[in-house]
Amino acid sequence: MTLKFLLVGALALGLAPLGAMADTWQERDDWAALFQEHDAEGTLLVVDQRQDVQAAWVHDAERARQRFVPASTFKVPHTLFALDAGVADDEFQVFDWDGIERGFPAWNADQDLRSGMRNSTVWLFQYFARELGEESERRYLEAINYGNAEIGDDLENFWLEPGNLEVSAEEQVDFLQRLYRNELPFDEADQRLVKDLMIGEAGRDWILRAKTGWSGEYGWWTGWVEWPSGPVFFALNIDTPNRMEDIPKREAIVREALRGLEALP
């Protein structure tokens, strides 16, 4: 599939590439108040591509272009890597727990792709990393133009530790847009499967697909809400100086912002 074809298809759907909208980001004063209300420092980028809207809003545009470790939001592209390489066959394959007790009870059991995504099971994706190896991980990262595409010296933790793989909120949204359109360099069936694994909630006419992430220092929530009129993409990252106490702020801020846009019930 050629780049020209992809661009024409995107325009036909009314889905302008993020880069084409970056110069028209609108800062939201009400979102600044929202972050202040939740005692949070961070950024939120929302690209609304519903047919009757076509706009992009941001809180702290400078930070939206700043790269941070993706933490478990990387499980979305990482699952695509594993499927493409044959490390994972499908959503039904069971991966045996290694018997090591970890701090999250849901991790102390066998996993499949769905539970691994839902529970953000780190050991499963560390297994994928070992099976893929450094060369394949780098090749995949470069192929999808994901952040700085750096792995560093720690194959099992490069998406978790600062100083290795880093990505911005802007780049997160760009990746999600390409996944939404099945434009990534993977089988369409694998892209559709990963999108299915991301489903968190759904209503009669909308679907929320998203993934959280937390490095200890920073928290993420990225994804999109699908409507009949088009998708609404979002990427938030915040500092988490109070660690676990700050975790609920991720979804709370995004949900309130999206509801203000009538992008989430």
- Does a structural domain hold residue 248? no
Q: Which has more pLDDT, 4 or 154?
A: 154
- Does a structural domain hold residue 4? no
Q: Which pLDDT belongs to residue 17?
A: 52
Q: Which pLDDT belongs to residue 246?
A: 98
Q: Provide the domain count of the chain.
A: 1
Supply the angle between the helices 169-180 and 75-85 in degrees, to the nearest 10.
50
The average pLDDT across 116-131 equals: 98
Residue 176 has pLDDT above 60, yes or no: yes
**CA nearest to 197, candidates 212, 180, 211:** 211
- Does a structural domain hold residue 258? no
- Residue 220 is part of which domain span? 26-242
pLDDT-derived band at 21, boundaries 50, 70, 90: low
Residues designated as active site: 72
Query: How many angstroms from the chain centroid is the CA of residue 140?
Result: 16
Residue 20 has pLDDT above 50, yes or no: no
- Residue 58 belongs to domain with CATH number: 3.40.710.10
- Does a structural domain hold residue 6? no
Q: Which pLDDT belongs to residue 22?
A: 58
With a CB cutoff of 8 Å and minimum separation 6, the contacts of 235 are: 44, 45, 64, 169, 170, 172, 173, 176, 220, 221, 222
**Phi–psi pair at 86, nearest 5 degrees:** 80, 10
Residue 75 has pLDDT above 80, yes or no: yes
- Does a structural domain hold residue 48? yes
- Does a structural domain hold residue 194? yes
Residue 15 has pLDDT above 70, yes or no: no
Buried-state track 130-167, b at ≥16 Cβ within 10 A, e below 16 = eebeeeebeebbeebebbebebeeeeebbbbbeebbbb
- Does a structural domain hold residue 209? yes
Which residue carries 């109070």 as its tokens? Answer: 242
The average pLDDT across 175-204 equals: 98
The average pLDDT across 121-142 equals: 98
Percent of the chain with pLDDT over 70: 91
The average pLDDT across 249-254 equals: 98
On average, the pLDDT of the chain sits at 93
Residue 230 has pLDDT above 80, yes or no: yes
Residue 2 has pLDDT above 90, yes or no: no
Residue 13 has pLDDT above 50, yes or no: no
Say what the pTM is: 0.91
Gap between the Cα atoms of 128 and 96, Å rounded = 13
- Does a structural domain hold residue 107? yes
Ranges 7-21, 74-88, 173-187, 245-259: which has the least confidence: 7-21
Total Cβ atoms within 10 A of residue 192: 12
The average pLDDT across 46-59 equals: 96
